[in-house]
Amino acid sequence: MATSSSQDAPQPLNLLSTQQTTLLLLLSVLAAVHVGQWLLRQRRRQPWSSPPGPFPWPLIGNAAALGRASHLSFARLARRYGDVFQIRLGTCPVVVLNGESAIHQALVQQGAVFADRPPFASFRVVSGGRSMAFGHYSERWKSQRRAAHGTLRAFSTRQPRSRRQLEGHALGEARELVAALVRRSAGGAFLDPTQPVLVAVANVMSAVCFGCRYRHDDSEFLELLSHNEEFGRTVGAGSLVDVLPWLRLFPNPVRTTFREFEQLNRNFCNFVLDKFRRHRESLPPGAVPRDMMDALILSAEKKAAAGGSGDGRAGLDLEDVPATVTDIFGASQDTLSTALLWLLILFTRYPDVQARVQAELDRVVGRDRLPCMGDQPNLPYVMAFLYETMRFSSFLPVTIPHATTANTFVLGYYIPKNTVVFVNQWSVNHDPVKWSNPEDFDPARFLDEDGSINKDLASSVMIFSVGKRRCIGEELAKMLLFLFISVLAHQCNFKANQNEPSKMSFSYGLTIKPKSFKIHVSLRESMDLLDRAVQKLQAEEACQ
């Protein structure tokens, strides 16, 4: 009985061992935290150390900490770890660049080193792997970009004739957009401008790329354009499709998203491929190109006839033409429509800014004609409004992910070859050191004391990236945004729906898009001026 009693009694030695174990674990954790902080300080002191960053969790890394608005998460992490820091998304190490100094040192001073793209699954899907925007940096890529850039400028901004044609396309679509907005606002109604804006902008790019336009009620065209948001969510920085590839192995929302992404890319590619085939069939040898598709086809055929090697160094290969046009059309219409929606929503949220834009247009342009590109140097407040909208919205907050082509350093931190790099453009546009009260919307910040545009500040706005991957459509985008907003403000008044929440809400992906909002649009006078301008344009084209 004594033995049994002694075995059943609590054992002080075992209880003490448990306490000791718990205490040792606590001490180990505290020591690990202390050592981690010490190592972090040492890394910051050593000029050639790897970038610091937060602790990554198993399997997911830091993916859960980014949230929907990754640019804001990156800005918060930069305040703690500095403008160059490292995170882990799944098993993929990622270096994030914030601030003008770090981004300039990487993308401009070491442009070729930071010009590659990561081998992400979503990137391989775009245009069957022939995409210029998502393709790997190589001699073939450089040739493809040169051909695309030169042809885009030739059919938009390079020559006076092409600029006039582009102005004509923009004017015609602005007229259709005004008519659609006013018609849907009849009787004091409020409308969501997203669809008419999307069609108007896409029609300008369709005219440049394919030589045609579509009706605002064309169901197939609307369906094609309706997937911009899904595309941006999949290829944007931090997309789970790319950084957690194992999620595509079993049923879950990520696998469903990726399959939908594959399908929408097939649909878009087939749309452009059909245009490509029709252009080839109707384009005689040596003909004058009717649009950008024609010009790229003729250039590729010329290279083939000259015995081009196919390595991409002598020009564009014929197989790359559809993908190149897909890049230009897809990226341009998405970026421009997003920017124009921002311009409209800020018009309605800041009626004093709208009134000042209209007053400047009335003073410089008058009421008996429409604004044109020749008026731009004399409309500094209109341009200030455009630049402030780009800065304030930062609607392209983080660039398409980059990758390094060699071992390198940024701000003293070592970044090895093949590292994925995220570039936080939002951090440049909202840097309180450069911009006073960056969260305030104030177009006047871009005006000098004499009322002219401050070119240094305007050039500091980062929205189209910099370096080797700088957007080839930047000049075209700024021109079209100026034309659209000038004509719209000259002809219309825009009013917000007072029943909507005062706080704006957005969807996040490759771009920041305003979520559905409603406005009322009314004519300042009548449609006569727009009608006469379009009729004059059509008569001039008929005479050419």
- 402-412 burial, b if ≥16 CB within 10 A, otherwise e? bbbbeebebee
The distance between the two most distant Cα atoms of the chain, rounded to a whole number of Å, is: 119
What gap in Å lies between CA 523 and CA 108, rounded to an integer? 46
Q: State the Cα angle at 232 between 331 and 87, rounded to 5°.
A: 120
DSSP 316: -
DSSP 398: B
Amino acid of residue 369: R
What gap in Å lies between CA 170 and CA 373, rounded to an integer? 11
Is 471 flagged in the annotation as binding? Answer: yes
HSE-CB of 379 using CA atoms within 13 angstroms: 29
* DSSP calls for 192-246: --HHHHHHHHHHHHHHHHHS----TT-HHHHHHHTTHHHHHHHHSTT-HHHH-GG
What gap in Å lies between CA 405 and CA 372, rounded to an integer? 44
| Among candidate residues 300, 319, 291, the one with its CA nearest the CA of residue 210 | 291
What gap in Å lies between CA 158 and CA 150, rounded to an integer? 9
| Known binding-site residue numbers for heme | 471
| Known binding-site residue numbers | 471
